[in-house]
Structure formats: C-alpha cells, structure tokens
Amino acid sequence: MSRIGKKPVAIPEGVTVTTDKNLVTVVGPKGTLTFEHHFDVSIKFGEKEFTVEKEAKGKNVPALWGTTARVIENMIEGVTTGFKKQLELNGVGFRMAIAGKTITLALGFSHPVIVEVPAGLDVVIEGNTMTVSGIDKHAVGQFSANIRALKPVEPYKGKGFKYVGEHVRRKEGKKSSK
C-alpha cells in the first residue's frame, strides 16, 4: 500500500495556502487556485509545509488521503511555475491556426474543426506544434486530450495529433501476393 500521503508538502516563498472548512485556496505569483477536498481528510499546517491526515476509517480514505496531498502539491507547482503540454500535428494538408481564443483545425474532414480555448489556458501554435499552458494541471491535460481526440495519430502513416516525445508504434501495411 502506498504511503504517499505521509510525505509533507513544502510551501515555497511567495505562495500562501489557506483552508476554510474543506476548501483549500492556493495563491501564488501566477494566480489563484481552489480545491474542495473530502471531509474524511484534514490539512495540518507546520512551518513552511503541511501534511494531509486521515480523519475517518474506510475503504476509500487512503486513496483520498494521498490524492488530496498530490492535488494540492500540483496546485502549488501550478501557481509558481505552471504546466504545459505540447502537441504535434503530422499529415499532408493538416493545418492549425489560432485567432484570439479560437483554434481552427484542418484535419482532413469535409469541414474545418473550430475549438474554443477555455479561460485560464494559453495556446501558442508554431508550425506544426501546439503548446497548451496554464496553472491548472487538470485543465491543461484535459484540453490537450480533447484536442488529441479530434484526430489521434494512426499507426500506419503516423498522421494526426501526438504529444511531443510520444513514441507511436508503426504497423506494416498490407503485402501484395506477387
């Protein structure tokens, strides 16, 4: 069984973590994030660090314990450094362009695909690479996954969206019988 919840989480300079009942607020140089944790866990503050402790006994309490600690740790990292994911679009005729908060994608369909960028996220397109960045790890990851789901990379020609650094296993095409 994992004991990831035992590890204390450090609070860096310039970041304040406050709690009000079960609502945790993290304020840092890049912004503010809030998280509502379960009542089965509590947060105990020390000097420049905090720990999450179990308040009840139950089957899912250990999972809540570790998850709550890591979610708050990710919030602290988000308000200090932020998160980013890079997507690469490969394929002849596949294009992407951004205008304001709207992304227009040409993905081989009969129509262009238009996607709105959620509030709190920044999208930069350079050539065939799209960089999604923001302070909320969940929002960055979910938006990147939604974009990738529009045209996932296919294994035969390698066309579609893939994460930068992702390895795609390529398949061999059909063989002729001559």
* Torsion sign, CA atoms 134, 137, 142, 145: positive
pLDDT attached to residue 83: 97
**Closest to 8 measured CA to CA, from 40, 43, 60:** 43
pLDDT attached to residue 1: 54
CATH class of 4-80: alpha beta
Burial class (CB in 10 A: 0-12, 13-18, 19+), 77: middle
pLDDT in tens, 133-154: 999 999 999 999 999 999 999 9
d(CA 102, CA 170): 32
* Cβ atoms 80, 28 nearer than 8 A: yes
Share of the chain above pLDDT 70, in %: 98
d(CA 173, CA 127): 29
Query: What does pTM read for this prediction?
Result: 0.89
23 C-beta neighbours (distance < 10 Å), count: 11
pLDDT in tens, 71-84: 999 999 999 999 99
Range list for CATH 3.90.930.12 in the chain: 4-80, 83-163
According to the CATH classification, is domain 83-163 in 3.90.930.12? yes
62, containing H or E segment: helix 61-80
Cα dist from 27 to 39, 50, 75, 131, whole Å:
22, 15, 9, 24
Q: Which residues of 103-139 are buried (b: 16+ CB within 10 A; e: fewer)?
A: bebebeeeeeeebebbeebebeeeeeebebebbbbeb
pLDDT attached to residue 161: 95
Low pLDDT (below 50) residues in the chain:
none
DSSP code for 158: -
